[in-house]
């Protein structure tokens, strides 16, 4: 089951222990195939696990993969496209929402493609507190290495032109609703 282009869906991120981590009230589907769903979150509510709510103010083209252990949020800002990559389980679409399990480690990628690994301490702590299996720990570490190689190689979705093409697709869809 896959959503259709133009459809608006929910996004839910959980933690390994089953607790809700973060939700987005809406994401407009821009593209979908056997490997990924590409959507945009723009002017939508985000609810954190602690109940804090905030409203997205910039367009974010989001890439959720069905077989990769990460997702990529590409934020269009005045100084270029910034990428926030979450190491997470492969995403699953259940007909209403897109779901994954967040595994703490993150990669922030700047417009010049320099990058920074974030939250390694959180990953280490949660791997003990939530009993991540050795297989999950190994998979997350390997996917981080793979993700860094994708960034260095300038492959999709780390191409600014591709991000703006998806944003233009969103403008077209939004205009013709």
169 is catalytic: no
In terms of Cα–Cα distance, which of 35, 46, 28, 11 is closest to 166?
A: 28
In terms of Cα–Cα distance, which of 42, 96, 31 is closest to 65?
A: 31
- Tokens 């367009």 found at: 59
- CA 24 to chain CA centroid, nearest Å: 11
Tokens (6 digits) for 62: 């989001």
Question: Hey, how many other C-beta atoms are within 10 angstroms of the C-beta on 105?
Answer: 25
- Active site residues per annotation: 22
């Amino acid at each position: 089951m896959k959503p259709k282009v133009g459809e608006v869906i929910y996004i839910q991120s959980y933690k390994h222990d089953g607790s809700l981590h973060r939700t987005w009230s809406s994401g407009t589907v821009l593209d979908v195939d056997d490997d990924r769903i590409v959507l945009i979150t723009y002017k939508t509510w985000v609810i954190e696990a602690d109940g804090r709510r905030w409203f997205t103010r910039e367009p974010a083209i989001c890439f959720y993969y069905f077989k990769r252990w990460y997702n990529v949020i590409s934020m269009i800002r005045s100084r270029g496209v910034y990428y926030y990559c979450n190491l997470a389980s492969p995403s699953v679409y259940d007909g209403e929402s897109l779901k994954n399990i967040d595994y703490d480690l993150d990669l922030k990628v700047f417009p010049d493609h320099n990058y920074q690994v974030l939250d390694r301490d959180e990953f280490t702590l949660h791997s003990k507190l939530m009993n991540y299996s050795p297989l999950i720990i190994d998979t997350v570490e390997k996917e981080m290495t793979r993700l860094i190689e994708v960034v260095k190689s300038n492959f999709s979705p780390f191409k600014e032109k591709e991000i703006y093409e998806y944003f233009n697709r969103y403008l077209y869809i939004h205009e013709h609703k």
